[in-house]
Amino acid sequence: MDLIPDPRRAWPAQPGAGAFPLDGETVIEAGPGTEGVARWFRTAVGAATGLPFADDAGVIGADDNRIVLGISPDIARELGPEGYRISVDAEAIRIEGGAAAGVFWGAQTVRQLLGPDAYRRAPLDSTREWAVPMTLIEDAPRFGWRGLMLDVARHFMPKDGVLRYLDLLAAHKLNVFHFHLTDDQGWRVEIKKHPRLTEVGSWRSRTKWGHRASELWEEKPHGGYYTQDDIREIVAYAAERHITVVPEIDIPGHSQAAIAAYPELGNTDVIDTTSLTVWDTWGITANVLAPTDNTLRFYEDVFEELLTLFPSTFIHIGGDECLKDQWKQSPTAQARIARLGLAGEDELQSWFIRHFDRWLAERGRRLIGWDEILEGGLAPGAAVSSWRGYAGGIAAAKAGHDVVMCPEQQVYLDHRQAAGDDEPMPIGYVRTLEDVYRFEPLPPELTEEEAAHVLGTQANVWTEVMHDSSRVDYQVFPRLAAFAEVAWSDLPAPAERDFADFEQRMAEHYRRLDALGVEYRPPGGPLPWQRRPAPDGDNASLGRPIEGAPPNV
Q: What pLDDT digit, counting tens, does each position of 439-494 carry?
A: 999 999 999 999 999 999 999 999 999 999 999 999 999 999 999 999 999 999 99
Q: CA nearest 268: which of 293, 289, 251?
A: 289
Residue 133 has a pLDDT of: 95
First-last CA distance in the chain: 37
Strands 186-187 and 182-183: antiparallel
Note if 467 is an active site residue. Answer: no
**Poorest-pLDDT segment among 74-88, 159-173, 291-305, 539-553:** 539-553
* 82/90 Cα distance (integer angstroms): 26
Q: What is the DSSP letter of 504?
A: H
- Condensed to tens digits (0 to 9), the pLDDT of residues 187-244 reads 999 999 999 999 999 999 999 988 888 888 999 999 999 999 999 999 999 999 999 9
Question: Which one is catalytic: 117, 269, 305, 321?
Answer: 321
Asked whether the predicted pLDDT for residue 16 surpasses 80, the reply is no
59 — pLDDT class (breaks 50, 70, 90)? low
| Alpha-carbon gap, residue 430 to 550, rounded angstroms | 8
Q: Which pTM value belongs to this model?
A: 0.97
Determine the Cα–Cα distance for residues 465 and 426; give it in Å rounded to an integer. 9
pLDDT confidence tier of residue 15, bands split at 50, 70 and 90: low
Is residue 321 among the annotated active site residues? yes
pLDDT, tens only, 292-340: 999 999 999 999 999 999 999 999 999 999 999 999 999 999 999 999 9
Q: CA separation (Å) from 547 to 410, 429, 544?
A: 14, 6, 10
537: left (phi over 0), alpha (psi -120 to 50) or beta: beta
What is the three-class DSSP state of 172? coil
Peptide bond preceding 331 in cis form (omega within 30 of 0): no
The 10s digit of each residue's pLDDT in 95-124 is 999 999 999 999 999 999 999 999 999 999
The partner residues of 180 in beta bridges, in order of sequence, read 151, 248
In the residue annotation, 183 being an active-site residue is answered as yes
The active-site residue out of 183, 372, 473, 485 is: 183
212 C-beta neighbours (distance < 10 Å), count: 12
Active-site residue (options: 211, 254, 316, 509): 254
- E strands, 381-476, are 383-386, 403-405, 427-428, 454-461
What is the dihedral angle through the alpha carbons of 462, 473, 476, 306, rounded to the nearest 10 degrees? 50
